[in-house]
Chains A and B, each alone.
Chain A
Amino acid sequence: QVQLVESGGGVVKPGGSLRLSCAASGFIFNDYYMNWIRQAPGKGLEWISSIGSSDGPVDYADSVKGRFTISRDNSANSLYLQMNSLGAEDTAVYYCARVHSFGSTDSWGQGTLVTVSS
């Protein structure tokens, strides 16, 4: 079955960097657009980035544009999110998710927690 497993979260100081990874299995990874979506503690869901099936196009929320970079390696069935210049407002659970019909998101990872704190 479809499985998405995120890794790379942790505690980082303000201004620091972190790279998240998402390992995909159970489906033909390079057939699908992929999203990163985050959820701050006790808050709602925020779409932050998406990438096309063949390593493009990419798109970002204004809140992360210029700081975060989404990428994928279809040969490794993996999705990535490079996060730079992190601030407290980036503290959240980050989900890797597969894009389905009509732009819905039908499969999600379990999430990885990123905490930005000094």
Chain B
Amino acid sequence: DIQMTQSPSSLSASVGDRVTVTCRASQSIGYFLNWYQQKPGKAPKLLIFAASSLQSGVPSRFSGSGSVTDFTLTINSLQPEDFATYYCQQSLKTPWTFGQGTNVDMK
């Protein structure tokens, strides 16, 4: 199975900050990397697919980059509604696996 490792596991930030979350795959996954946001008690929401493609309706302050094994989710100018947990997921091959999550909370 492909292991996905996110860092950090948690971070504290303020409104207006630039936030970066990284995700590393245990083997090459090309561009088959997706990012999700999840708020407590809610289903995850797709933010980025194919490493850098912004899902329809997602604010442009979210961006994704990377390929092969190393990927980054960036949130420019963090907004109050962005405090949440973020997950990466590889979809190159099953079992499709997720990172352990990164909790972004308020400093």
**Are B89 and A101 in contact, CB atoms less than 8 angstroms apart?**
no
Complex formed: what's the CA distance from A44 to B6 in Å?
12
B49 adjacent to A108 (CB under 8 Å): no
- In the complex, B100 has a CB within 8 A of chain A: yes
- Classify the interface of chain B: helix, strand, loop or mixed: loop
Residues in A40-62 with C-beta less than 8 Å from chain B: 44-47, 50, 59, 61-62
The size of the chain B interface, using a CB distance under 8 A, is 25
Is B55's CB under 8 angstroms from A45's CB? no
Q: Does B59 contact A (CB under 8 A)?
A: no
Known contacts A45-B44, A104-B46, A110-B43: A62-B95 contact under CB 8 Å: yes
Chain B residues 21-38 with CB under 8 Å of chain A are 31-32, 34, 36, 38
Chain A residues with CB under 8 A of B34: 102-105
